[in-house]
Amino acid sequence: MVGKTISHYKVLEKIGEGGMGEVSPTWCLGLLLMSSALALAQSEVPVFKVETNLRSIAVRVTDKQGNDVHGLSAEDFTLLENGRPQKIAFFGVEHEPLSLTILIDSSNSMESGGKLERARTVLGPLISGNHPEDEVSLLPFTDQVGRIQPLTSEQRLDPPRAKVAMRAGGTALYDALASALCHMRSARHPRQAIVVITDGADQHSRLRLEQLIELARSSNPQIFMIGFYDKSEYEVYRQRSKTVTLVSGREIDNPLIAFRRLAEESGAESFFPTSDRDLKRVLDRISAIVQAQYTLAYYPPSVARVRTIKVKVRRRGVKVGARRQVGSDAGDGAFRFTTSCEVSANEHPYPWESRVSQSPSKTTVYREDFSDPQSGWPNRGGSTYRPEGYVISRSVSPDTVTTGPVAEGRIAAYGPWWEGFRASVLVDANWRRIRGGRIGLHATTAGMVFHLNEGGYYAVLLSSSDRGKTMAFTIVRNVFWEGREFVITPWTQISTPSMPGQSGRTQHKITVESDQGLIQVAVDGQLLGKFRDDTFTDGLVGFGVFGNSRAVFRDLVVEGLP
C-alpha cells in the first residue's frame, strides 16, 4: 500500500568524491530523500490572507558593547516605510506579554539521538515565560504537521510531550512554519515570535522556500531558527552552497542558508548549536532578546507590495535591529490553507500527484512516462529527461578500482512513498562486451532501486557480457549505517529474450513485488527468484546506474498492494 504520507530522508553526500548525486554501495555518510503520499481532501477554505491592516515591528536597540538599551519611549523612535514616516499606532515597551509558538521537530533522528528529550529539558524556561499573560503554543512536526497545542498556565510549568507520528520520515519544515504563521494571525498580543528547533532540512513541504519567505514578510512574528546539528552534519552543510544534492539526485535547500534567510527576513536570528550547552545558551539568548525588544505597530497605507522598513532611534551610538521589509508581491490569496491552517493540498500539489490514479480495486497507481520534465524527477547532471525517456549516465576511468560486487554509481528516485507494491520499468542500456568476461565491475550495469529510505535500499541490477546477448543479474542490499553492501543474489547468468528498444538497442523489463518482507523479482516476465528480507519495508522506487554506464528508463508503473 502507499506509505502513509510523504516523507523525506536525510542523506549527506560524500564530500569530495563521486560527484553530486553519486552513491557508493559500500560507503555512504547518510541519506536525504524526498518522497510523499497522497493528501486526504479537506475543507480548502483560504483562511489566511497575505496581509492584515496592523503591522507589528519588533525592534532591538543595543549600545556599542551589545548591551540592550532600556527605558526608551515612543517619542524616541521614527518608523519609515519606503522612506516615509509612519504614525506609530501602538508602542510596546520591554517585558510586555508575548505570543509565542514553538515548532519542535519530533522526527526519528531527533528522538533516536536523544536530541528531542534534551531539547524538551532546556525549553522549560522559554515555555514557562516571564509574563503571566504570555500566550504559548507547541506545534510538533515530522514529515507531517501536527496540531497546534495552546498551553494553559499550568501546562507551561509542566509542558506536555508534543509529538506527531512519523509516516515515512524526514521533515515538512516549511509547511509547519507556514501553519504556525497562519495560526499566529489570531494571536492575542502584538509582540509575537516563533521558535523552530530541528536537526533536519526541509525535504517534504508543499511550499517552496521563496513562498515561505513571502509569507514571513507579510506576517508579524519574528522567526528564530535553531538548527540542532551534529558537528559532522554542520560541516557538510557549511561546505555546500545554496543547495545540497542528495543521493536520490534531488536538490534541497541548504538549511544553513535557508534558516538565516528566514530569520533575517523576520527581524530575528538563526542559531546552530552543536551541543546541549550551546542549545541552552541559544534559548537563553532568544528569551533575553524577546524580553528586551520594543514593539512598534502601524497601519500601512498599502499592502499590495513589498515595502522597505527602517527604524531610527534618537540616541547616539546605538544599533537598531529590526526587519527590513514587509509585505508580499505574491498578492492576496496566494497562499491557501485549510480551515485548520494546513497548507492546501489542492492549491499546492506535489509534482508527482498528477501522475497518480486509482485502480478499479481501489489501489493507488503511479505511472510515469517521463514525457513532462516538470513531473518532479531530478533533471540535472547525469540524470535528465530526454525524448527517448529518463536517462541516467555515468562515466568512470577504466583504471578505477571497486571493492564490492557493484561499482559506484548514480541513483535517481522520486514519487510516492511505498510499503507493499508491484513495480515495473523498461531498461534500455548500452549493453556491451566486458573485457575478460567480468560482470558487474566496469560493465554497463543498470536496474531498479526500491525501498530507498534513510537506512539504505535494495537494487535489482542487470549487466551483460556480449552486447546484451548474455545477461546476468544481481540483487543487493545497501545499508548506510553500516557502510556496507550485502549480496542477496550473486551475479547469475540468465536466458531471457530481449525486447526491441529504440535505435536498434535492447531493452529489458524489470518487475519487483514487495509485500511485508517477501520480495519477488522477474525480468522479461521470467521469475528469477523470491526472498524474504525485512531490513527495509518502505521507501521510494527509483533507478540506478553503476560502473561506466548510460541507461534509458521508460514506462515506470508502481501500484500499491491491497
Residue-range domain boundaries for the chain: 60-145+166-326, 353-497+504-560
Give the span between the Cα atoms of 308 and 324, in whole angstroms: 6
Give the span between the Cα atoms of 369 and 386, in whole angstroms: 11
* β-strand partners of 297: 56, 90
- Cβ count within 10 A of residue 166: 18
pLDDT(164) > 70 = no
pLDDT of residue 37: 34
* Residue with the larger pLDDT of the pair 131 and 353: 353
Report residue 279: phi and psi, to 5°.
Answer: -65, -40
Lowest mean pLDDT segment, chosen from 26-35, 93-102, 435-444, 447-456? 26-35
pLDDT of residue 43: 37
Give the three-class secondary structure for 213: helix
pLDDT of residue 499: 56
* Residue with the larger pLDDT of the pair 267 and 395: 267
- 401-404 CB contacts, 8 Å cutoff, 24+ apart: 402/441, 402/442, 402/547, 403/26, 404/25, 404/26, 404/485
The band of 558, judged by pLDDT with boundaries at 50, 70 and 90, is: very high
Fold of the domain spanning 60-145+166-326? Rossmann fold (3.40.50)
Give the span between the Cα atoms of 11 and 31, in whole angstroms: 2
List the strands of the sheet with 325-326, edge to edge. Answer: 84-86, 77-81, 307-313, 325-326
pLDDT(510) > 80 = yes
pLDDT of residue 165: 61
pLDDT of residue 41: 35
pLDDT(223) > 80 = yes
Q: Are 416 and 37 in contact (CB under 8 A)?
A: yes
- Cell numbers for 409, please give them: 554509481
Lowest mean pLDDT segment, chosen from 16-25, 120-129, 382-391, 524-533? 16-25
Give the span between the Cα atoms of 538 and 534, in whole angstroms: 9
Query: Which residues have C-beta within 8 Å of that of residue 377, sequence separation ≥ 6?
Result: 249, 368, 370, 383, 385, 390, 412, 414
Q: Which residues of 66-97 are buried (b: 16+ CB within 10 A; e: fewer)?
A: eeebeebeeebbebebeeeebebeebbebebb
pLDDT(200) > 80 = yes
Dihedral angle sign, alpha carbons of residues 317, 323, 326, 330: positive
Q: What percent of the chain shows pLDDT beyond 70?
A: 81
pLDDT of residue 350: 94
Burial of 278 (0-12, 13-18, 19+ CB in 10 A): middle
Give the span between the Cα atoms of 8 and 344, in whole angstroms: 19
Kindly report, residue by residue over 363-392, the tens digit of the pLDDT: 999 999 999 999 999 999 899 999 999 999
Q: Are 559 and 359 in contact (CB under 8 A)?
A: yes
pLDDT of residue 33: 36
Estimate to the nearest angstrom the gap between the alpha carbon of 429 and the chain centroid: 32
Give the class (CATH, top level) of 353-497+504-560: mainly beta
pLDDT(166) > 80 = no
pLDDT of residue 443: 62
pLDDT of residue 399: 45
Kindly report, residue by residue over 43-94, the tens digit of the pLDDT: 343 333 334 578 999 999 999 999 999 999 999 999 999 999 999 999 999 8
The average pLDDT across 7-19 equals: 31
Q: What percent of the chain shows pLDDT beyond 90?
A: 61
pLDDT of residue 117: 85
* Residue with the larger pLDDT of the pair 331 and 447: 447
